């Protein structure tokens, strides 16, 4: 008997071992992904930060926006402080006039002086000891140069007598030190100190050919390179030892050393309170580095303030005392702000409430909303978790597995961005809650494009709603579109033109992009509840093949960049039409700028445009589908966040057109103001072989706005969003397109796999 019991126990152990073994083998990747996700969760904002020695850790810098006394302020040209500690700001209004603003009471009140500077486009600047400013950039008449503005507003040209020639005579950036001395870096990365009276230049021994830009922190000149930050002591004219913490910051994020815009920097500096300290700010926050310290100390968490808006830019930062910082930044919409950070020791170090938002992919609109929400609700920590956060090897599947593990462990996010997630399953399993109340609220507050929103009503309830949506448009010579209003007839037209010897019919698209766009445009016709209609699928594959073959071997010429799914977000390529490299183009149009490009094609070439594949249903692509987790204990905050995301403030900041009517009205009005008949904006581009095109962007008039609105109102079928279905179809179709499988093989493979998927 004993033997039997022992045998039973051993057999049971072996069996459970077997099952655990099965799971263990295929879950390796998931575990790794989950591990990465946990690391991310622990990063700086966990419970450890909230509690210290059993009691709550207190004290945090709170952000506020400083209102500058400039009517219709357009941009800030300079921020710094004079020798006596006065804050000096130079700002320009929408008319191009600029004002020198000074404050000696932490930005509570300002003295304003109108300057002689007009229509300036400033790329770098500095403040002099007496409270004047030095500006480098383009001034009236597009003249590049450096100007010195005195505290009384008078401006004079500075003509640095740079000894070099060519690139070494052109200024890349300028800046001033604590004493107001001027330094410039040339395009050859040489650094000179300039005498502001005579213009004479003295070369400093802190050049580096790999320098991207520089910063000045008090008396330290910091040359930012891909290898680290070179420190030069300006008062002692000598190079200093490397600051390990600064170098470590660069080592961990090489992007901090790459300045890829003419205005703004990935990393900005100011002096610390202590002699050897340097303060720097990035989108991750504000950090303090003491010489000799291995790690920088985070003073302000970027995620808790506007610095975290990764689509915005950083310009300058100053530290007035241990408890006050001022920073000049712009947000993702380009709006420039002067921010004040004041230390408040009575608030908790990390906000007590947390609103966790999960998204599979990064979104500038989400970041903007989080930043705005964070500013208005400093007692709530908005934590955005991105599944595909750039960690090497993480796939969407790994990210979803990690998310599901968290959900099962009772750690579900409060808010979900459902793009790419298994929405139906989440609804079925009760992960998402009904947001009908919130939707009703929005309905009363101006309403929706119901042609879009009604698609998300399930048994009278809403579990998700996209913030934006966008169409696929097609443009072709007049008369063609009326005959090619579905995918097959369009493919026939392209093939016929190609067969007749016209090598330039369609804009180049590689197999991946072509398939993805055409899947979104047509799949809703042949996929119902996960099952494919074989006859319609065959027609689709045949049409796709015709379009792919029309470009012959050139299809893959575009290289790898348009393999990125991000390219899909604005894939209508007007350039190829304008240059005559294509006679027809189709793609996604996600904003007014994209639509103005289409209008320009109409005006310049006389081409028509319409919804692509119109006769097969007016399909729209949703963006940022939001849902609230059913287990959230921050429902109020989640709804408030959604109200902001769907509200006017975020309208037009993201990909696609707002689903709310009020949001659309704002986008329309902004579009008419910016790209209307009075617009002077123009765009131009060229090719390596010397061809170029350009046009004025002023075609968005009332009639065009009405037409776009009628297009948006006509979109009533969401594109098939199921990622598994998409992958199954696209994998087999790509093999067919590239000749690795026959049509019947591709059809059979898709049918077989979709059947399995459906049966699951």
What is the rounded CA–CA span in Å between residue 474 and residue 484? 10
C-alpha distances in angstroms, 729 versus 188, 386, 526, 724, 733?
51, 26, 11, 9, 6
Which of 1, 2, 5, 25 is the binder for other proteins (CB under 8 A)?
Answer: 25
Does residue 759 bind other proteins (CB under 8 A)?
A: yes
E strand or H helix that includes residue 366: helix 364-376
How would you classify residue 450: left for phi > 0, otherwise alpha for psi between -120 and 50, otherwise beta? alpha
- Pick the stretch among 37-45, 157-165, 219-227, 423-431 that binds other proteins (CB under 8 A): 423-431
Candidates 81-89, 106-114, 126-134, 420-428; binding stretch for other proteins (CB under 8 A): 420-428
Work out whether 426 is an interface residue with other proteins (CB under 8 A). Answer: yes
Separation of alpha carbons 715 and 468, rounded Å: 13
620 vs 277: CA distance, rounded Å: 54
Torsion sign across C-alpha atoms 280, 285, 289, 295:
negative
What is the rounded CA–CA span in Å between residue 340 and residue 353?
23
- Judged by CB under 8 A, the residue of 6, 23, 154, 534 near other proteins is 23
429 binds other proteins (CB under 8 A): yes
CB of 400 to other proteins, least distance (A): 6
Minimal distance in Å, beta carbon 421 to other proteins?
10
Q: How many residues of this chain interact with other proteins, rule: CB under 8 A?
A: 43
Neighbours of 44 (CB within 10 A): 15
| Position among 6, 13, 159, 440 found at the interface with other proteins (CB under 8 A) | 13
28 touches other proteins by CB under 8 A: yes
Question: In a 10 Å sphere around its CB, with 0-12 CB exposed, 13-18 middle and 19+ buried, how is residue 3 labelled?
Answer: exposed
Kindly state the smallest distance separating residue 5's Cβ from other proteins, in Å.
Answer: 15
Site string for other proteins, 595-634 (x = CB under 8 A): -----------------------------------x----
Of residues 121 and 757, the one with the C-beta less far from other proteins: 757
Return the number of the residue (378 or 727) whose C-beta is nearest other proteins: 727
422 contacts other proteins (rule: CB under 8 A): yes
Shortest distance, position 392 Cβ to other proteins, whole Å: 14
State the nearest-atom distance from the C-beta of 533 to other proteins, in Å: 19
By CB under 8 A, tell whether 744 contacts other proteins: no
Q: Establish if 17 lies at the interface with other proteins (CB under 8 A).
A: yes
Q: How far is the CB of 631 from other proteins (least distance, A)?
A: 8
- Member of 653, 728, 737, 747 binding other proteins (CB under 8 A): 728
Distance CA 580, CA 604 (A): 12
Q: Which residues pair with 294 in a beta bridge?
A: none
Q: Which listed range, 224-232, 419-427, 598-606, 613-621, lies at the site for other proteins (CB under 8 A)?
A: 419-427
Let me know how many helices (H) and strands (E) the chain has, helices first: 20, 41
The two beta strands, 211-217 and 201-203, are unpaired
Q: What is the per-residue binding string for other proteins in 636-675, x denoting contact by CB under 8 A?
A: ----------------------------------------
SS3 readout for 381-395: EEEEEECCCCCCCCC
**CB-CB neighbours of 53 under 10 Å:** 6
Q: Based on the shown chain and the rule CB under 8 A, indicate whether residue 400 belongs to the binding site for other proteins.
A: yes
Does residue 760 touch other proteins according to CB under 8 A? yes
* Local structure of 432: helix, strand or coil: strand
User: Strand 268-271's sheet: what is its strand order?
Assistant: 268-271, 277-282, 285-290, 297-301
What residues does 330 pair with on adjacent strands?
Answer: 313, 336
**Of 393 and 460, which has the nearer Cβ to other proteins?**
393
Which residues sit at the interface with other proteins, rule CB under 8 A?
A: 11-23, 25-26, 28, 30, 397, 400-401, 404, 407-408, 422, 425-426, 429-431, 630, 724, 728, 731, 740-741, 745, 749, 752-753, 756-757, 759-760
């Amino acid at each position: 008997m004993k033997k039997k019991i022992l045998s039973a126990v051993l057999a049971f152990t072996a069996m459970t071992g077997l099952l655990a073994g099965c799971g263990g083998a295929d879950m390796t990747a998931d575990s790794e992904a989950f591990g990465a996700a946990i690391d991310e969760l622990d990063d700086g904002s966990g419970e450890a930060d909230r509690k210290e020695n059993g009691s709550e850790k207190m004290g945090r810098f709170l952000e506020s926006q400083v209102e500058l006394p400039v009517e219709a302020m357009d941009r800030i040209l300079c921020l710094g402080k004079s020798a006596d500690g006065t804050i000096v700001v130079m700002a320009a209004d929408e008319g191009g006039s600029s004002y020198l603003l000074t404050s000696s009471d932490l930005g509570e009140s300002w003295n304003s002086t109108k300057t002689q500077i007009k229509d300036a486009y400033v790329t770098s600047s500095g403040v002099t000891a007496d409270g004047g400013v030095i500006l480098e950039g383009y001034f009236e008449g597009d003249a590049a140069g450096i100007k010195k503005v005195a505290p009384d507003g008078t401006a004079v040209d500075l003509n640095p007598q740079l000894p070099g020639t060519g690139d070494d005579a052109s200024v890349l950036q300028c800046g001033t030190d604590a004493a107001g001395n001027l330094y410039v870096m040339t395009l050859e990365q040489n650094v000179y100190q300039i005498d502001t009276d005579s213009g004479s230049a003295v070369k400093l021994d802190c050049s580096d050919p790999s320098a991207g830009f520089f910063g000045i922190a008090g008396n330290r000149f910091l040359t930012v390179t891909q290898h680290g930050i070179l420190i030069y002591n300006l008062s002692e004219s000598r190079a200093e030892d490397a600051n390990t913490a600064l170098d470590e910051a660069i080592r961990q994020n090489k992007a901090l050393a790459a300045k890829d815009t003419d205005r703004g920097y990935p990393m900005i500096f100011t002096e610390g309170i202590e002699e050897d300290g340097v303060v720097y700010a990035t989108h991750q926050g504000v950090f303090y580095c003491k010489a000799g310290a291995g790690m920088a100390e985070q003073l302000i968490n970027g995620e808790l303030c506007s610095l975290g808006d990764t689509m915005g830019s950083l310009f300058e930062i100053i530290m007035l005392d241990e408890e006050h910082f001022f920073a000049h930044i712009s947000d993702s919409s380009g709006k420039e702000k002067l921010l004040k950070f004041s230390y408040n020791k009575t608030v908790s170090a990390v906000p007590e409430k947390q609103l966790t938002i999960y998204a599979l992919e990064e979104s500038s609109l989400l970041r903007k909303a989080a930043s705005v929400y964070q500013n208005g609700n400093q007692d709530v920590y908005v934590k955005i978790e991105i599944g595909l956060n750039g960690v090497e090897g993480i796939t969407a599947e790994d990210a979803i597995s990690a998310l599901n593990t968290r959900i099962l462990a009772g750690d579900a996010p409060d808010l979900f961005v459902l793009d790419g997630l298994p929405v139906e399953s989440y609804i079925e399993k009760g992960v998402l809650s009904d947001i009908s109340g919130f939707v009703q609220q929005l309905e009363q507050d101006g309403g929706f494009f119901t042609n879009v929103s009604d698609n998300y009503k399930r048994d009278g309830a809403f579990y998700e709603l996209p913030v934006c949506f966008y169409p696929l448009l097609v443009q072709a010579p007049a008369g063609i579109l009326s005959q090619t209003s579905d995918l097959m007839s369009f493919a026939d037209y392209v093939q016929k033109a190609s067969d007749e010897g016209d090598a330039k019919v369609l804009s180049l698209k590689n197999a991946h992009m072509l398939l993805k766009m055409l899947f979104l445009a047509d799949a809703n016709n042949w996929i119902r509840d996960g099952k494919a209609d074989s006859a319609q699928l065959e027609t689709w594959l045949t049409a796709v093949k015709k379009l792919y073959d029309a470009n012959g071997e050139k299809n893959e010429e575009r290289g790898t960049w348009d393999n990125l799914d991000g390219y899909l977000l604005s894939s209508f390529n007007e350039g190829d039409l304008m240059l005559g490299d294509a006679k027809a183009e189709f793609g996604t149009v996600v904003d007014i700028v994209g639509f103005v490009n289409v209008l320009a094609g109409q005006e310049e070439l006389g081409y028509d445009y319409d919804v692509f594949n119109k006769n097969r249903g007016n399909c729209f692509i949703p963006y940022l589908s939001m849902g609230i987790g059913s287990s959230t204990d921050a429902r109020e905050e989640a709804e408030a966040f959604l109200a902001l995301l769907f509200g006017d403030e975020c309208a037009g900041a993201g990909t696609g057109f707002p689903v709310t009517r009020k949001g659309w009205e704002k986008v329309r009005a902004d579009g008419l103001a910016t790209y209307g008949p009075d617009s002077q904006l123009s765009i131009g581009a060229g090719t390596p072989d010397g061809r170029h095109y350009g046009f004025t962007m002023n075609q968005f008039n009332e009639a065009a706005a009405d037409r776009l609105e009628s297009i948006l109102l006509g979109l009533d079928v969401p594109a098939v969003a199921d990622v598994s279905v998409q992958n199954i179809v696209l994998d087999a179709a790509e093999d067919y397109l590239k000749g690795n499988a026959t049509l019947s093989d591709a059809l059979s493979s898709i049918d077989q796999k979709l059947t399995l998927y459906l049966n699951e």
